[in-house]
Structure 1
Amino acid sequence: MTTANGYSCLSFLTDYGRADGFVAICHGQMAKRAPTARVIDITHDIGPGDVRRGAAVLAETVPELPPAVHVAVVDPGVGTRRRSIAVAAGGHVLVGPDNGVLMWAADALGGAEACHELTEPGLWRHPVSATFHGRDIYAPVGASVAAGTPLSEVGPELADPVRLPAPRREVSGTAAGGEVRAVDRFGNCQLSVFASDLSRTVPGGTPERVEVRAHGNRWTVPVADTFASVAHRQPLLLTDSAGYLALAQNGGDAAHGFGLRAGDPVDLVPVSEIPANPV
């Protein structure tokens, strides 16, 4: 929650993994500057440099957390001229590199209200490494904000934070088109379309089956509510916990089965709308 002097909670997301001491080192910087703040680790298993995956996970997670400072470090451009920012949105603050990893989360919190570039070296750890800004800039600044430092003191306002391209989302009268927004560790392929998009392609609501079209291939799968609605190892389309449609496989890996990865285009066509003899 927000306190009179800042925030009682920080969250932390990175692509650092757990094999090294990087996460603990950043926790140490946070503890030095905000010793009473609770730190919630969202994940540190984002694929190395996978900014889109980090952005997607952050956006799905932060609306479920209490008001907090969210430090996100997926930063393949560390040490370059890319900027570092703090974004206020919906009573929260997001801190990290200006490469798009923060802005989907800001949107999920109701939209960015202010954005500041991190230029105040008095809030950083020194010396600053060219390869570890999570330790030297983001963890210290995030914790300082949690401890009560106002955003006006982290650096000047910024009007043009970097945004990742919005995922494809197209709905016609007979099909819903999107892309694989993310693939989780179970192999479920979260798409960039919603059940409401699919229902617009069929009079009367959601179809019972769809033809999945990707990479020139076509598969017919049922639309179901749960993984167990189909037999073991069988594919299905369902609505995931974040509200997106997802291609899944009961007890299996849909990404492997369909040959899909994040960013791949996917079209969903209700089976009733497919001609008997498609050209």
Structure 2
Amino acid sequence: MATTGQLTDLLGHCGAMGYDRITFTTDYGLADGFPGVCEGVIARIAPAVRVLHLSHGVPPQAVRQGAALLAQAVAHLPDAVHLAVVDPGVGTARRAVAIRAGGSVLVGPDNGLLVPAAEALGGITTAHEIVVDEPEHATFHGRDVFAPAAAHLALGVDPADLGGPVPDLVRLPEITSTAAPGSLTSEVLAVDGFGNLQLAATAADLATAFARGAEVEVVIGPARLRAVVGRTFADAEVVVLADSAGHAAVAVNLGSAAARTGARPGDAVVIS
């Protein structure tokens, strides 16, 4: 198993396969220098590798929303090292992992963040722990653990050289949605920057429950909205539709469904 100082030496012994891109997803935001510092660490190790910043706008500590964002994006991204850091357990005993899936490698904390994306890429091939020297700072593993590992993997280091296999990856609890003619029960999976509410229910669930053009009531906590099942945002003031990721969603045309309802990820939604 490798330490940080030994990773460079592994390059002489690993296979030739590498990646010319690292995608980068976090809850760091853009107010601080955290994303740029991590990119700088990558550039010092692998200066020719391009970093594609997918998003740094995942809400703080919102592991499920980060997992959904990454899982919905990877099918549209090139084979790459997909680096993702939404890590409420930073500095604790939670593991750092590298997961092979499809033609890519996913790097991040073992807290359920990476597994949906790995499944979207065709399923987990291998998973290995990233074992390094204890970082001097326990609060910035993005810089001290994950970014260096991603850079070395992009240069061709095999995940198996970073640590032992992980047979028991942490998985997020499954969300159950129920669809029947005239009724759809689910929960808010994510809220985007426009205030649209993406539901855990799929477009197929929505089609099972309602025909396009149906007038429905959306109940989220104390909020009740009259809406129309439509195809696009302009079909009604409040519209329930299938979004670009294949999920059911609630949107307010030229407005914010999140602001209108106060809804947050995890809130129960009943449409009838």
1:228 aligns with 2:234: yes
Separation in structure 2 between the aligned mates of residue 186 and residue 120 of structure 1, nearest angstrom? 40
Does 2:158 match 1:150?
A: yes
How many angstroms does 1:209 deviate by? 2.2
Determine which of 119, 125, 128 is the counterpart of 2:131. Answer: 119
What is the aligned-residue RMSD (CA, Å)? 1.8
Say which structure, 1 or 2, has more relative contact order (CA 8 Å, 6+ apart): 2
Question: Separation in 2 of the partners of 1:43 and 1:83?
Answer: 23
CA distance in 1: counterparts of 2:245 and 2:66, whole angstroms: 15
Structure 1 residue 220: Cα displacement: 2.6
Answer whether contact 1:198 1:206 (CA < 8 A) is retained. no
34-43 or 137-146, larger mean C-alpha shift: 34-43
Alignment deviations for residues 71-130 of structure 1 (CA, whole Å, 9 cap, x no partner): 111111111111111111111111001111111111211221111111144xxxx85310
In structure 1, what is the equivalent of residue 270 of structure 2?
267
Number of residue pairs the alignment of both structures matches:
258
Q: Displacement, 1:5?
A: 3.0
In structure 2, the residue matched to 1:72 is 84
Secondary structure, aligned partner of 1:27: helix
Cα distance in 1 for residues equivalent to 2:97 and 2:118: 12
Q: Paired residue for 2:245? A: 242
Give unmatched runs, 5+ long, in structure 2. Answer: 1-14
> Secondary structure of 2:209's partner?
coil
Deviations 1:229-267 (A, max 9, x none): 22xxx2111111111111001110101112211111112
Matched with 2:170 is 162
Whether contact under 8 Å (1:237, 1:247) holds in the other structure is yes
Q: Which string of whole-angstrom CA distances, capped at 9 and with x for unpartnered residues, describes residues 30-51 of structure 1? A: 1122221111001112222111
Match of 1:181 among 184, 189, 198: 189
Tell me the equivalent position of 1:212.
218
Secondary structure of the 1:7 match is: coil
2:204 counterpart residue number = 196
Q: For residues 206 and 87 of structure 1, what CA distance do their matches in structure 2 show?
A: 40
Distance, in Å, in 2 between the alignment partners of 1:128 and 1:170 is 48
1:195–1:206 Cα contact (<8 Å) kept: no
| Structure 1 residue aligned with 2:55 | 43
Normalised to the residue count of structure 2, the TM-score between the two structures is 0.89
| Residue of structure 1 equivalent to 2:6 | none
Contact 1:16 1:44 in 2 (8 A): yes
The residue that corresponds to 1:85 in the other structure is 97
Distance 1:236 1:154 in 2: 48
The percentage of counterpart residues that share the same residue type is 47
State the one-letter code of the partner of 2:180: S
TM-score (norm 1): 0.87
Q: CA deviation at 1:207?
A: 5.4
Structure 1 unpaired stretches of 5+: 270-279
The alignment partner of 1:106 has SS state of helix
TM-superposed CA distance for 1:173, in Å, is 4.4
Q: What amino acid does structure 2 have at the position aligned with 1:261?
A: R
Match of 2:9 in 1: none
Residue 194 (structure 1) shift: 2.0
Contact 2:238-2:252 at 8 Å conserved across structures? yes
Map of 2:24 onto structure 1? 12
